[in-house]
Amino acid sequence: MSEPLILSATQGAVRTITLNRPAALNSFTGAMHEQLLAALDAAAGDAAVRAVVVTGAGRGFCAGQDLNDADMRAPDGGAPDIGAVIERRYLPLALRVRSMPVPVIAAVNGVAAGAGANFALGCDFVIAARSAGFIQAFSKIGLVPDCGGTWLLPRLVGRARAIGLAMTGDKLPAEEAQRIGLIWQCVDDAALMEQALALAGRLAALPSRALADTRRALDDAAMLDYGAALQLEARLQRELGRAHDYAEGVAAFLAKRAPVFTDR
């Protein structure tokens, strides 16, 4: 039997999902997309999972689209419909990550290129090994950044750096990525998984529903005017204020005990 392209493992309330095509730097094939989406759906649907870590097997995180995959070939041998590949594969993946009911951490163990870089950047936290790097490889093959790159890059690092990264396709080392605010943290290679799992454990103990609504509020507010953002905050606080976790958080604070959050 062939190796699964995606591995899932659970430690406590943390689900670790590993991209598992190391010989091709975990580049995306249609089959890997399907297994990855299924693994994310399974994590989202499992009430015992309260944080997700995504990482890569071997020396790379993900080299983006597998440029040899059948997904990329038109049946008649003509030019491929890459727009269809984006709509069928990358759009659902990017939206799935952004709508997870729990925080998602990318533990970037090695090079993250093309859609592999933007898949990582779409996660809530990116922790990268010092030897890792981020490459907007698209310009080198005549494409634009996808998997959310055009939206994410300028918001994360501003237009000047977004344009620079996207047009040159130069590799940005993890340390520099942290310095300019593209990622959360750069850590020593040997400490990557320990640090990612420690952060995931901390997040798992926090109120998941409030964390997911925080992501949503920050993303939506970027497209609203000030008044509308204030209205959105009011609506979310109204809903959260009626939920179990708020009552539990306040009760635990007043009783000077640790809270036990359960909402998702």
Nearest to 106 by CA among 145, 148, 56, 156: 56
What is the x/- site pattern for ligand T3D, positions 128-167, by CB under 6 A?
Answer: -------x-xx--x-x--x---------------------
Gap between the Cα atoms of 60 and 240, Å rounded = 40
Number of residues that bind ligand T3D (CB under 6 A): 23
Percent helix, strand and coil across the chain, each to the nearest 5: 50, 15, 35
As given in the structure block, the two tokens for residue 227 are 């008044």
Per CB under 6 A, the segment of 44-52, 101-109, 113-121, 256-264 that binds ligand T3D is: 113-121
Our CB check for ligand T3D shows the closer of 68 and 99 to be 68
CB of 221: closest distance to ligand T3D in angstroms? 28
CB 92, CB 62: distance < 8 Å: no
Residue 7: beta bridge partners? 18
Per CB under 6 A, the segment of 111-119, 158-166, 176-184, 224-232 that binds ligand T3D is: 111-119
CB of 67: closest distance to ligand T3D in angstroms? 4
Cβ neighbours for 99, distance < 8 A, ≥ 6 positions apart: none
Our CB check for ligand T3D shows the closer of 135 and 177 to be 135
Our CB check for ligand T3D shows the closer of 31 and 72 to be 72
Options 113, 182, 196, 204; binder of ligand T3D; rule CB under 6 A: 113
Our CB check for ligand T3D shows the closer of 39 and 115 to be 115
What are the b/e assignments for 146-164, b being 16+ CB within 10 Å? bbbbebbbeebbeeebbee
Give the position of tokens 């994410």: 152
Is residue 25 close enough to count as binding ligand T3D by CB under 6 A? yes
Per CB under 6 A, the segment of 24-32, 41-49, 124-132, 193-201 that binds ligand T3D is: 24-32
Contacts with ligand T3D in 62-101 (CB under 6 A)?
A: 63-68, 72, 82, 85-86
CB 165, CB 136: distance < 8 Å: yes
Our CB check for ligand T3D shows the closer of 12 and 22 to be 22
Cβ neighbours for 18, distance < 8 A, ≥ 6 positions apart: 6, 7, 8, 9, 54, 55, 56, 57
Is residue 44 close enough to count as binding ligand T3D by CB under 6 A? no
Is residue 191 close enough to count as binding ligand T3D by CB under 6 A? no
Number of H helices, E strands in the chain: 11, 10
DSSP 98: H
Contacts with ligand T3D by CB under 6 A lie at 24-25, 27, 63-68, 72, 82, 85-86, 111, 113-115, 135, 137-138, 141, 143, 146
